[in-house]
Amino acid sequence: MAPKYRLAWIDAAKGVAIMMVVCIHTNGIFQNRLSPSNPTVTWWILNLINTACRVCVPLFFMLSGAVILGSPERSFLDRGYVRRIWRTLAPLLVWSLVYLIIYRMSAHRTPTVNDVLGIAAGKAHHHLWFLYSISGLLIVSPMLNAYVCATGHRGGLTLGILWLTVVGISWVLEHVFQFMLEPNFTRSLPVYTGYFVIGYALRDCPVTRKVKFLSAIVYLDGLVACALLVRSINSRASQFEGLIGDYVNPLVMIMSIAMFLLFRPLESAAPDEQPGRCTRFFARLGVVSLGVYTSHVLILDTVVRVAHNENRLGLRTLPYVAVVPILMIIVIALSWEFSEIAKRIPILRHVV
Amino acid sequence: MLSGTVNLGSPSKSLIDRAYVRRLLRILVPFTFWALVYMSIKPKGGFRWITWAEASGLLSGQVHYHLWFIYSLIGLYIISPILNAFVIAIGEYQSLLVGGFLLGLAGLEWSVENAFPFWFDANLFKPVPVYTGYYILGYGLRSVKVTLLIRDYALVVFVASTVISLGITDYLNREVASFDNRGFHNLNPVVMVMSIAAFAMLKPVEEIPGNSHPSRIMHIFASLGRGSFGVYLSHVMLLEASFDYGYWSNRQVQEAIPVALLVPVATILITFVSWLGTTRLSKIPFVRRLI
């Protein structure tokens, strides 16, 4: 029998991660309006919020790995594999077209055939980059699955740590020393493979109180270090420079793994034990995270235009520190509701 | 394909397996040595010390042009344990399908990218190295039994695809200033077909009794094959030296050997000399690790 509540912690973690994604995008609009060279208290608060949420995308990769890897299906011809790929590619294709049409039309331009073909070249709306990356991981998932099945959690952990190390070193060399490694060293597997495999390797590890405490310390340390680095790198910048928040920055890697471990204790002790109310709330959001992810940017842009730029809700008089959470809650509520409704409509359910 | 035949399907499983690390080192050590040799020695310029910046070119791919192959091989060797577990899990027949699919996809992408100014998204279309198809196919093909009929077909396909490749090269080079090599690029679908046909031709035919005993000519090629890595690494040095010293443009040589024969003669000579050097050096304890 499939464990009814056993995976609720994964859905809950997805729910928190998607909230962080919306938070980053909402936060980014307002942080970009502040001068980074002369930081105010508001800038610092927005910087801390942004940095704290950078773990969201790595969390998604790790949670996907935790669910997908270690399964009995191994082949490219397996029905479950094909269905999973389709469940990512269909939203990618449909939402790329939706964003393309809406944003071109709003700029009084007609989408061309080249614009549509650009989707295959990775030129979709900016936030959909994640669907390309996760699709790449899903495509190679039978290979990774076979490897982790043969080597177990320990083998998975070794691969994950090695790959994160390679990618992390490559990132440091590129951005600190302006030195590019030969692509065969770093692109033999998708960039985020490390997160994906570590998610599998850590999914069953017992998290004691000591580990939980250490994870919290590591996460907070990483947060402070990242926030200070963001300040340092932006001290002479005229526009906000978001390099430090890169998902393959070694500091973000460490923060993400720590955050993943902090979610682990949410797992129910027994398969039929109902999780707490908070876990259930986030798990419900997590179930529709794909729909929220794909739709929220459209909703966010509309809400910011109507509620803030055109000041229809009187938000312009409020400080950014208050505007960001208000807008974030509105956007999450609307995109959540949209995803729940779309899930009930036969054709739309395949793209959310 | 041959690397896939040899490396895949082995019992070693993990990334930290001793056999895997040793295999990786067997490439990395000679590669590092020869890349540095090519940087510091020029046949006519002699030896010069290289700077750290030049040496770091090893990591960024700024090395002698013919060493591109070693980078591709390293890329495949890095993920070899993953591919190994995968092909063991799916078996040889499915490996054949997967290898063929990956190769077909790489060929299609290469064709589109070269025919139009269009580049596919790397995450979606190139999640593994472009030569993975060849590598897995090598494993999948190793169990395929080659009959006389298959060998004859393979020969016909090989000759036909060679002619097509020649035709494409001729067509592409009619009105261009610099030489266009896309007609025989390794990811050109025609070359893919040619390579698979060549692989099938070289497999022993099972119908012929006593075919398990290699002939004398097979012995010679097997001996050359054992030193192939050393030959690959060193032959360009010999080739460039012979060009730099004007041996092939020497009037007496050109009069003695027609131009059409010069290429095969030079090929045989350089292969033989680099093979001889490789076999001799492979008997010296520490030097053997560098070739």
Cβ-proximal residues to B47 (8 Å cutoff; 6+ apart), any chain: B40, B41
Residue A228 has pLDDT above 60, yes or no: yes
pTM here is 0.92
Torsion of CA B282, B287, B288, B290, to 10 degrees: -120
Residue A2 has pLDDT above 60, yes or no: no
Q: What is the DSSP string of B157-206?
A: HHHHHHHHHHHHHHHHTTT-SS---GGG-TTSHHHHHHHHHHHHHHSPPS
CA A140 to chain centre: 19
- With cut-offs at 50, 70 and 90, classify the pLDDT of residue A298: very high
| Alpha-carbon gap: A292 to the closest alpha carbon of chain B (Å) | 22
A173, A184, A195, best to mutate vs chain B, most B CBs in 10 Å: A184
- With cut-offs at 50, 70 and 90, classify the pLDDT of residue A3: very low
Interface of B with A (CB under 8 A): 13-16, 56, 59-61, 71-72, 74-76, 78-79, 81-83, 85-86, 88-90, 94, 97-98, 101, 118-129
Mean pLDDT, chain A, as a whole number? 91
- Cα angle vertex A213, ends A207, A217, to 5°? 125
Cβ of residue A159 closer than 8 Å to a chain B Cβ = yes
For residue A185, which of A168, A203, A198 has the smallest C-alpha distance?
A168
- With cut-offs at 50, 70 and 90, classify the pLDDT of residue B209: low
Note the pLDDT of residue A74: 63
Residues B151-188: pLDDT tens digits?
A: 999 999 999 999 999 999 999 998 787 889 999 999 99
Interface pTM, i.e. ipTM: 0.91
Higher local confidence (pLDDT), B48 or A261: A261
- The H-or-E segment that residue B41 falls in is strand B41-42
Cβ-proximal residues to A88 (8 Å cutoff; 6+ apart), any chain: A131, A134, A135, A138
B233: tokens are: 């690494």
Domain definitions of chain A by residue range: 3-342
Average pLDDT over residues B197-222: 78
Residues A317-348: pLDDT tens digits?
A: 899 999 999 999 999 999 999 999 999 999 89
Distance CA B159, CA B165 (A): 10
Cβ of residue A77 closer than 8 Å to a chain B Cβ = yes
Residues B4-43: pLDDT tens digits?
A: 999 999 876 677 788 888 989 999 999 999 999 999 988 7
Average pLDDT over residues B257-274: 89
Q: What is the DSSP string of A63-112?
A: HHHHHHTT-S--STT-HHHHHHHHHHHHHHHHHHHHHHHHHHHHTT-PPP
Contact at 8 Å (CB) between B20 and B12? yes
Note the pLDDT of residue A4: 54
Distance CA B105, CA B60 (A): 27
Buried (b) or exposed (e) across B6-35, using 16+ Cβ within 10 A?
ebbbbebbbbebeebeebeeeeeebbeebb
Cβ-proximal residues to B227 (8 Å cutoff; 6+ apart), any chain: B275, B278, B279, B282, B291
β-sheet bridge partners, residue B47? B41
Q: Which residue of A has its CA nearest to B91?
A: A75
Interface contact flag, B121 A143, Cβ < 8 Å:
no
Mean pLDDT, chain B, as a whole number? 90
Residues A60-104: pLDDT tens digits?
A: 999 999 999 998 766 677 788 889 999 999 999 999 999 999 999
First to last CA, chain B: 21
